[in-house]
Structure 1
Amino acid sequence: MTAGIDTPDRRGRTGLDRQGRDLAGNPGVRIVDVELLSSDWYVLRKTTYDYRHQDGHWTREQRETYDRGDGAAVLLYDADRATVVLTQQFRLPAYVNEHPDGMLLEVPAGLLDGDAPEEAIRREAAEETGLDIGEPHLVFAPYMSPGSVTERLHCFAAPYDGSAALAARAGVAEEGEDITVVELPFADALAMVRTGRIADAKTVMLLQWAALEGPFKGTA
């Protein structure tokens, strides 16, 4: 008996080796087998499949996929004051891969956890910044690392009330979050992208969208 397959894992899930077995949208891909490697919290699978190349020949391939669920992120902006609100928190994966201290500046974000993307982003904005946001606008929903991670990230922009007092710190303590709330002039945030001070992909993408097409178009 295997946790996550025949018996519930720590999150109560079973049948995790079934994901992807019935895919039929691409006639050039035939799923052969799905093996569950880990389901400690998120899910790591190894999938064996046959792939038809452009010249018509078939090869057997294997890939590992990491499934942490889909997520949502939001750029909070005050167009009148030309400011944005970001968060700063420790990110171990960045720290072990050459980031000097692992303290990343990011837009508020989190997993959907069964909620609709707009509901999730209102929840995450409140938890990570203490702010109630205005009407969110869906900007794009990219796959963030499609070579290995299944996650699709729904990226929003939403106004916030710049007259409201910002909490210095936020986050859900029970989840180990220790978040600093940071309000910046938009021009400063965009400059941090150019210098590498902001190195989080979703944040870079949303700040650049804001400069090219969003609330700060033509101001940067």
Structure 2
Amino acid sequence: MTAPFQFTSDDVRIESQETVFEGFFRMGRLRLSHARFAGGYTETIQRELFLRGDATCVLPYDPARDEVVLLEQFRPGALWRDQSPWLLELVAGMDEPGESAEEVAHREGEEEAGLRFARLEPICRYLVSPGGTTEMVRLFCGCISSEGAGGLYGLEAENEDIRAHVLSLAEALAMLDDGRINNAAAIIALQWLSIHRERLREAWQ
């Protein structure tokens, strides 16, 4: 059996690349062929890609109170589902050029929830939907005090309308179990915290 990851980017032949739409988001079109497991190359295929920068997300966690802060805001991608298009999510923001993921985390914590992270624990990096978009997300768990947290936040210039909720970790995990929390970053981060909770409570207090 051949081990995974035998191919690299060098095994992709890009014939053409163009931007087909540029507005709030950007869409590109690729024509390419790639190596086949059985040998040789595929025929030329065409793929459209949602060209989006990387993002940073943080799950704010108070180890003393065993509470998390989750943000509620409107998401048009959740329209036409059998649920509310207002989702409970993590603190999150797009990475700006020259900005580290940690810098994004601290900036967005202040802007979206009025929070300051005493520590940031890396969780993982993941490709959001690599069949159709270039976006990579980096996840953190951030140490906070949830005392006095919650309320309305967001930048008016960016049309943000955010309500920060303080929940016990048990409440948040129950929402995860029954499907009320159903976006990837929050699911991954809350499951990670459920595994690492005791270690963090010991290390962060």
Tell me if TM exceeds 0.5: yes
Contact 1:51/1:61 (<8 A) preserved: no
Separation in 2 of the partners of 1:49 and 1:124? 37
Superposition deviation, residue 57 in structure 1? 3.1
What is aligned with 2:152? 169
What is aligned with 2:113? 129
Determine which structure has the larger helix proportion and give its number: 2
Alignment of 1:57-68 (within 5 A): 57-59=40-42, 60-68=44-52
What is aligned with 2:55? 71
Superposition deviation, residue 28 in structure 1? 2.4
Separation in 1 of the partners of 2:89 and 2:82? 14
Contact 2:19/2:27 (<8 A) preserved: yes
Percent of residue pairs identical:
32
Question: What is the aligned length?
Answer: 193
Segments ≥4 residues shifted beyond 3 Å:
none
Separation in 1 of the partners of 2:191 and 2:93? 20
Q: Secondary structure in 2 aligned to 1:207?
A: helix
Superposition deviation, residue 174 in structure 1? 1.1
Q: Secondary structure in 1 aligned to 2:188?
A: helix
Separation in 1 of the partners of 2:187 and 2:82? 16
Contact 1:86/1:181 (<8 A) preserved: yes
Separation in 1 of the partners of 2:149 and 2:184? 25
Superposition deviation, residue 48 in structure 1? 0.6
Offset from partner CA, 1:71-126 (integer Å, 9 cap, x none): 00001001111100000000011113x15220100011010122110000111111
Q: Secondary structure in 2 aligned to 1:36?
A: strand
Determine which structure has the larger strand proportion and give its number: 2
Alignment of 1:140-179 (within 5 A): 140-163=124-147, 165-179=148-162
More divergent stretch after superposition (58-67 vs 74-83) = 58-67
What is aligned with 2:191? 208
Superposition deviation, residue 168 in structure 1? 1.2
More divergent stretch after superposition (24-33 vs 45-54) = 24-33
What is aligned with 2:77? 93
Contact 1:33/1:47 (<8 A) preserved: yes
Contact 1:82/1:216 (<8 A) preserved: no
Superposition deviation, residue 211 in structure 1? 0.7
Which segments of 5 or more consecutive residues in structure 2 lack a partner in the other structure?
1-6
More divergent stretch after superposition (187-196 vs 38-47) = 38-47
Separation in 2 of the partners of 1:94 and 1:216? 34
Q: Secondary structure in 2 aligned to 1:183?
A: strand
1:30 maps to a residue whose letter is R
Which has the bigger relative contact order, CA under 8 A and spacing at least 6? 2
Superposition deviation, residue 167 in structure 1? 4.2
Shift in alpha-carbon separation, 1:207–1:118, aligned structure 2, 3 A: same
1:86 maps to a residue whose letter is L
Contact 2:69/2:146 (<8 A) preserved: no
What is aligned with 2:3? none
1:110 maps to a residue whose letter is G
